[in-house]
Structure 1
Amino acid sequence: MSGKIVFFEDRNFQGRSYECSSDCSEIASHLSRCSSCRVESGTFMVYDQPNFTGQQFLLTRGEYPEYQNTIGFNDCIQSCRMVPMHKGPFKMRIYERPNFEGQMHELTDDCNSIQDNYHMSDMQSCNVMEGYWLMYEQPNYKGRMFYLRPGEYRNLRDISSDDMRFNSIRRITQS
């Protein structure tokens, strides 16, 4: 099953629209702005900057008539990435220091506090082996988030724009 998201130029699903069922690095090439959207199927990461950069937010099936109140973006969505459906186990390794050094812990489930559960003062690299994950700035899945696909992340400081620290991690599971 693939995903489908419809972007609208104005709030409350008004104005011109653009339908998307895959990654889109620059919504501005299709619409003058994007101020509301409807996720008809699937799950999408949306970004407030082009090329999958800036603040990120996970959107699941539903309606998003305006971003300021629903997802906290000050401006409009600029790019989006479809989150593939994952069936099977989830697995990632987190490391205290860059380049997979220092303390290491293997996760197969959500973690609401890296500090409390693993006594790690910091998490600076990780290896996502299976599944798609969200890392959050604060414990209990709060604050800014960052989408992780399978792969190696040697220095998490390089992928966030302002030395953001990650304190909780959740699997992206879909029904």
Structure 2
Amino acid sequence: MGKVIFYEDGNFQGRHYECMSDCSDMSSFLSRCHSYRVESGCFVVYDRPNFMGNQYFLRRGEYSDYVSFGMTDSIRSCRLIPQHRGSFRM
């Protein structure tokens, strides 16, 4: 299971939205997204709704300003990358 918190403004300010699964259009929750905190799991985020546009991989950590990480636009959709844990037998 993963969890990411998106914030409307940089430095984790403004309204926020907690996401633990895929979200095809974040505009119904936030007008923009300029910072985010990945608490667990890994996500692919997109700069367009419906998982379109440029893709960016996010892993656990704090991202206080989307521009400093090479993003050209605000995040508009995201997908949780499933983590599979299993046993390996020989």
TM-score, L = length of structure 1:
0.48
**5+ long unaligned stretches in structure 1:** 89-175
> How large is the Cα RMSD of the aligned pairs?
0.9
Which whole-Å CA distance do the structure 2 matches of 1:84 and 1:77 have between them? 20
Deviation at 1:69, TM superposition (A): 1.2
In structure 2, what is the equivalent of residue 25 of structure 1? 24
In structure 2, what is the equivalent of residue 77 of structure 1? 75
Of the two, which has the highest radius of gyration? 1
Task: Give the number of the structure whose residues are more often helix, by fraction.
Answer: 1
SS of the aligned residue for 1:12 comes to: coil
In structure 1, what is the equivalent of residue 8 of structure 2? 9
**Moved runs in structure 1, 4+ residues, more than 4 A?**
none
Q: How does 1:120-139 map to 2 (within 5 A)?
A: none
Deviation at 1:16, TM superposition (A): 0.3
2:57 aligned partner, one-letter code: L
Which whole-Å CA distance do the structure 2 matches of 1:29 and 1:73 have between them? 21
Deviation per CA, 1:112-153: give whole Å up to 9, x if none: xxxxxxxxxxxxxxxxxxxxxxxxxxxxxxxxxxxxxxxxxx
Deviation per CA, 1:9-38: give whole Å up to 9, x if none: 000100000000000001111011111000
Which whole-Å CA distance do the structure 2 matches of 1:61 and 1:41 have between them? 6
**5+ long unaligned stretches in structure 2:** none
In structure 1, what is the equivalent of residue 84 of structure 2? 86
Deviation at 1:86, TM superposition (A): 2.4
Deviation at 1:7, TM superposition (A): 0.3
In structure 1, what is the equivalent of residue 59 of structure 2? 60
Identity %: 60
1:85 aligned partner, one-letter code: Q
1:6 aligned partner, one-letter code: I
Deviation at 1:74, TM superposition (A): 1.4
1:25 aligned partner, one-letter code: S
Aligned residues: 86
Structure with higher RCO (Cα < 8 A, 6+ apart): 2
